[in-house]
Structure 1
Amino acid sequence: MTGRRAPDSGPPTLLAVAHGTREADGVATTEALVARVRALRPELRVERCFLDLVSPSLPQALTGLRGEVVLVPLLLGAGYHVRVDIPAALADAPHLRARVARALGPDPLLAEALADRLDEAGWPKEAGCPGEAGRPGPGAGALVLAAAGSTDPAANAGTAAMAELLRRRLPGLPAVVPAYLCAAGPTPAEAVAALHAEGHRRVAVASYLLGPGFFARRASAAGACLTSAPLGPHDALARLVTLRYDEALGDRRNGPPEGRTGARSGRMLTPG
């Protein structure tokens, strides 16, 4: 006897849906984040899957589940994956009563994690950079928030909102400019150069990315005085995953889900 509860008993399963990467460090980051979620909520069955490149895939994970499931995208913005790919996979899983939580960002908990990563990288309170003598004057320090980027303007608007949340979180309210590593502009390198041209002597990059990989390396090459590490399995990020799960269940308690309810997909909450 394994002690695992029956599929239809207890609270809904939390299925964390990650993007997927060829890089082992990136996959390990997802696994570490999911482990922290499990530690925070031991009463929940917490599973994970990937949208691309890594197994189990989202369809594979859905096939192996029963009963009620809340899908929490481990994605920072509500782009194509959240709007199209996840609902399409659910349409092929009529045996589940499933809901899709909101994307993780923007959110103040992400600002907390970003600020911690900047602190770890050496971004000092006075908005200077390591190894530079003297106190910075007005306009001396600024930040670029480097996100993956999307062809969806709404997703990029979410990054801009996240930049403002980060600015409010940091001492001295430094300038924080959103930038995009693909599909939109400015690029982090362009944003760093523009801030230098405006008179900011010290410009750092905050990596608005979940894990290491190609985009993280590209962010590090933007010409800033320092680049923070990706968010990784930060405690605030794990808390945010559980918050998105609870939000989705709150929607259920408040009435039927809004949006599409397909005959083949059961009850489904479209991402909001």
Structure 2
Amino acid sequence: MAHGTRDAEGVAVTDALVDRVRALRPDLRVERCFLDLVAPSLTEALARLRGEVVLVPLLLGAGYHVRVDIPEALASAPHLRARVADVLGPHPLLADALDDRLAEAGWGSGDGPVVLAAAGSTDPRANAGAAAMAALLRVRLRGRQDVVPAYLCAAGPSPAEAVAALRAEGHSRIAVAPYLVSPGFFARRAARSGARLTSAPLGTHASLARLVALRYDQALGRLPLGEEGRPGGAGHGSTGRRGGPGQGAA
């Protein structure tokens, strides 16, 4: 279940990520739908499924969609036996992906601080998740750079405000790391924050696909919630044919 965007490239990236999950878990039927703006909607997807399903949100944080939209859609689908997986973030696999995206953009170990640009939410729990993700990225960078959480809407500071504050402290080399799955409106806003460079969204990074598979397994009780999906675990591409009959993911 992706958020949805009017940006055609963002939809294409979602489709490519889902294809990567299918390649990781060929034992599963993997469908995709959107929570807003793009068809099929979650309600439409659920209407054509039968049996047992696992709903995996392609969302980095818990907010209105998780608290309201998903339960309402499930209430309209009593014919299904459904489990809802945890949202993707925060998680160390996402820190790996963010680090790689920064390196691809040309950010090195000797450069300055990083602003983690999350979507932002009116739900404080979602924003706390982004702050926790900033702490995980700081650990992944081994403390070489500070990582400051910022929010593209509904909360502060904004990425532009965070960049300005870091410049006022004397930093000239600042990077913005979008904590976003797909290109689109928020990614373009993050790129206008005034930093020296902005990395790409997480997109189809291998760690993101592994994390989707991990969340699926966790929803079925096959892995503890503390499992990080490191090499050897199901979250790292295991295709152990563990999906039972009639079991799929949406």
TM-score w.r.t. the length of structure 1 is 0.80
Could you tell me which amino acid in structure 2 is paired with residue 43 of structure 1? D
- Is the contact made by 1:49 and 1:57 (CA closer than 8 Å) also made in structure 2? yes
Correspondent of 1:156 among 106, 110, 127? 127
1:249-260 mapped onto 2 (5 Å cutoff): 249-250=220-221
1:167–1:176: structure 2 CA closer, same or farther, 3 Å change rule? same
Could you tell me which amino acid in structure 2 is paired with residue 72 of structure 1? V
DSSP-derived class of the 1:34 partner: helix
1:124-163 mapped onto 2 (5 Å cutoff): 124-127=108-111, 141-163=112-134
1:247 CA displacement? 0.4
Aligned twin of 1:37: 21
- Is the contact made by 1:126 and 1:172 (CA closer than 8 Å) also made in structure 2? no
Aligned twin of 2:240: none
Aligned length: 224
- Is the contact made by 1:144 and 1:179 (CA closer than 8 Å) also made in structure 2? yes
| Structure 1: tracts of 5 or more residues without a match | 1-16, 128-140, 254-272
Aligned twin of 1:234: 205
- Is the contact made by 2:121 and 2:155 (CA closer than 8 Å) also made in structure 1? yes
1:172 CA displacement? 4.2
Q: Does 1:75 align with 2:46?
A: no
TM-score w.r.t. the length of structure 2 is 0.87
Q: Which structure's CA Rg is the greater one?
A: 1
CA distance in 2 between counterparts of 1:162 and 1:252 reads 21
1:198–1:109: structure 2 CA closer, same or farther, 3 Å change rule? same
- Is the contact made by 1:33 and 1:233 (CA closer than 8 Å) also made in structure 2? yes
1:173 CA displacement? 3.0
Aligned twin of 2:98: 114
- Is the contact made by 1:205 and 1:219 (CA closer than 8 Å) also made in structure 2? yes
Higher relative contact order (CA 8 A, sep 6+): 2
Could you tell me which amino acid in structure 1 is paired with residue 206 of structure 2? D
1:187-226 mapped onto 2 (5 Å cutoff): 187-226=158-197
**Identity, % of aligned positions:** 76
DSSP-derived class of the 1:73 partner: coil
Could you tell me which amino acid in structure 2 is paired with residue 67 of structure 1? G
1:83 CA displacement? 1.4
Can you list the C-alpha shifts for 1:78-114, whole angstroms capped at 9, x where unaligned? 1110111101100110000001111000000000000
1:251 CA displacement? 7.3
1:125 CA displacement? 1.9
1:171 CA displacement? 4.4
Could you tell me which amino acid in structure 1 is paired with residue 57 of structure 2? P
1:165-180 mapped onto 2 (5 Å cutoff): 165-180=136-151
Aligned twin of 1:135: none
Aligned twin of 1:25: 9
Which runs of 4 or more aligned residues in structure 1 lie more than 6 Å from their structure 2 counterparts after TM superposition? none
Aligned twin of 1:65: 49
DSSP-derived class of the 1:85 partner: helix
1:34–1:231: structure 2 CA closer, same or farther, 3 Å change rule? same
CA distance in 1 between counterparts of 2:45 and 2:121 reads 26
CA distance in 1 between counterparts of 2:160 and 2:42 reads 34
Could you tell me which amino acid in structure 2 is paired with residue 212 of structure 1? P
